[in-house]
Amino acid sequence: DKDDPRYTMTFDEEVAAINALTLDDVKAFYKEFYGATEATLAVVGDFDTKAVETALAGNFKDWKSPSRYERIKDEFYQPKAENVEVETPDKANALFLAEQPFKLNQDNPDYAALLMGNYMLGGGFLNSRLAVRIRQKEGLSYGVGSSFSADARDETATWRAFALYAPENAEALEKAFLEEIEKVRAEGFTAEEVAAAKSGWVQSQQVNRAQDRSLAGTLNSYLDLGRTLEWDAALEAKVMALTPEQINAAMAKYLDPQKMVLVKAGDFAKSRQAKP
């Protein structure tokens, strides 16, 4: 449904929709939907509580939204597996993207295991499996990594991977990527990898909480979710209690190249012409 706010437009549709907008359309939308009726705020640092409250009341007390707020639920969608190549003429670099959705949220028993599995596969920067194989060992990519995220409430999660590379390395890069995925599915991670990943991941969480901007963002989102930082402490406890077998089982259960969408964008025609 193209009228559903969750609909993802094509590039051409987005350009057409923007070009069709008028100033009156934008003003009418702002008037109907914008307001501080359901607003939340988190303040972190050395501040005067009364001064903040006074400033908020003075600036936002009368800013009401005419429309009633209702959260739009994300529905799980499993796209068909595809391997797409997009020609981008005269671009020096190429981009590889892989994506697979999972039907789970942050309350799922496998969530912590998937967090750590992704951290070791491609989320741990230069020490991850993908970085070691594709960037360091074979020198196929300038940058490679992966991410995993799950919604706090709705059963919508996504695993993604990316790589920046020279177009002539396209086949070798995709081959190495798929081999590393299959190796994780078949053999999993070692106890040494898991121990190092746990330490690194927990330290990264502590660093995030030490940054005012990051902490304020977390606390503000938790006002909507009804959480406190005790949730973070519980998640970290779950992560530290994980065994290699639990992580490996979760990765084998969910990660599947046969369900992935692979997209490669680059000037592949030129690189193929250059080959002898």
pLDDT digits (tens, 9 = 90+) for 135-146: 999 999 999 999
**Domain ranges in the chain?**
11-60, 82-274
Identify the band that residue 125 occupies on the pLDDT scale cut at 50, 70 and 90. Answer: confident
What's the DSSP call for residue 90? T
Q: 78: closest CA among 251, 263, 264, 261? A: 261
For range 205-209, the mean pLDDT: 96
* DSSP states of 111-168: HHHHHHHHIIIIISGGGSHHIIIIIIIS---SEEEEEEEE-SSSS-EEEEEEEEE-GG
- What CA–CA distances, in Å, run from 39 to 26, 33, 36, 65, 101? 21, 12, 5, 10, 30
What backbone phi and psi angles, to 5 degrees, belong to 207?
-65, -40
Question: pLDDT tens digits, residue range 150-177?
Answer: 999 999 999 999 999 999 999 999 999 9
- Tell me if the domain spanning 82-274 has CATH number 3.30.830.10: yes
Please name which of 86, 78, 103, 74 lies closest in space to residue 10, comparing C-alpha atoms.
Answer: 86
- Mean of the per-residue pLDDT values for the chain? 96
Cα 133 from Cα 127, distance rounded (Å) = 10
The pLDDT tens digits of the residues spanning 180-191 come to 999 999 999 999
What value does the mean pLDDT take over residues 63-71? 94
CB-based contacts of 189, cutoff 8 Å, min separation 6: 117, 120, 197, 244, 247, 248
At 95, which helix (H) or strand (E)? Answer: strand 94-102
Q: For the chain, first and last CA: distance in Å? A: 48
For residue 199, the surrounding DSSP H or E stretch is helix 191-209
For the segment 6-26, what is each residue's pLDDT rounded down to a tens digit? 999 999 999 999 999 999 999
Q: What CA–CA distance (Å, rounded) separates 200 from 84?
A: 35
Are 99 and 159 within 8 A, CB to CB?
A: yes
Predicted local confidence at residue 1, as pLDDT: 85
